[in-house]
Amino acid sequence: MAWDYTIAHHTVIELTNKMSIQRHYSFFDRLCLNIDQAVRALTDNVITTGHPYPAHHIKEASLNDAERKQAAALMRINHAGEICAQALYHGQGAVSHSQQTQMKMQQAAKEEGDHLNWCRKRLLELGSHTSYLNPLWYSGSFCIGLLAGMVGDEWSLGFVAETERQVIHHLARHLHTLPKQDHRSAAILQKMESDEAKHRDEALALGAKELPHLIKKIMAMTSKIMVKTAYFI
């Protein structure tokens, strides 16, 4: 019975995704969908692709307290970053001007949902917690996504491409900062890095515009605030 329920649940989700592309929603419909997406992201119930956990085959290393704390802090930052990614894609998809861009945002959000689940699972393995400020990260990023989407799809995709560039940079730094024997966390970050590069390339292929230098600097400064805060909270 539980197996049948799971299949039915995923079938409803897929039908909902298809319907969201094929029909025009009222403002109230969109509001309800956005609330549902936010609740899912903040309660670890996001829609994912179902890709396997990258660290499932890797033996847990023996970490001392300092190393475990460092690894957990970095994975908490990455989990918060994935909360932001969910919100950005949800906000941009909500106001996108084209079906193709909407589909791109929906698929990217699913893949970022994989990342969100992987980071949370690793945090639990390390005996730590996700950022207590996740609702703040989500709401702020959703508003940014809405603004980016309203400007136009080419600029919205440019925002995606630049976001992914900065995320890849952060992931590369984290891979060098992780305790060297923490191969489980490293495997997760390496897979995330590969997926983010794909999202960047897809956005560029769809016609992403290069963002002005000032916008890039503001994005980088905002990211630094999130990183420094999520490291501790």
Q: Give domain limits for the chain.
A: 25-45+62-232
User: What is the spatial distance between Cα 208 and Cα 73, in angstroms, rounded to a whole number?
Assistant: 33
Q: What is the distance between the alpha carbons of residues 101 and 97, in angstroms, rounded to a whole number?
A: 7
The pLDDT of residue 154 is 82
Residue 88 has a CB neighbour count (10 Å cut-off) of: 28
Q: What is the pLDDT of residue 31?
A: 65
Residue 222 has pLDDT above 90, yes or no: no
The reply to whether CATH 3.40.50.970 applies to domain 25-45+62-232 is no
Comparing 202 with 31, the larger pLDDT belongs to 202
- pTM, 2 dp: 0.78
Tokens standing for residue 16: 């909902």
CB neighbours (10 Å) of residue 1? 5
Asked whether 171 and 196 are in contact (CB, 8 A), the reply is yes
226 band by pLDDT with thresholds 50, 70 and 90 = confident
Query: Over the stretch 38-97, which tens digit does the pLDDT of each residue have?
Result: 777 777 777 777 788 998 888 888 889 899 899 999 999 889 888 888 888 878 777 776
Identify the pLDDT of residue 128: 92
User: Is 204's pLDDT higher than 60?
Assistant: yes
Here the tokens at position 81 are 């970053």
- The distance in angstroms from the start CA to the end CA of the chain is 40
* Structural tokens at position 186: 């490293």
More confident residue, 165 or 31: 165
| In contact, 112 and 86? CB cutoff 8 Å | yes
What is the model's pLDDT at position 121? 92
Cβ–Cβ contacts within 10 Å for residue 14, how many? Answer: 10
d(CA 81, CA 221) in angstroms, rounded, equals: 14
The pLDDT tens digits for 6-30 are 444 444 445 445 444 445 555 566 6
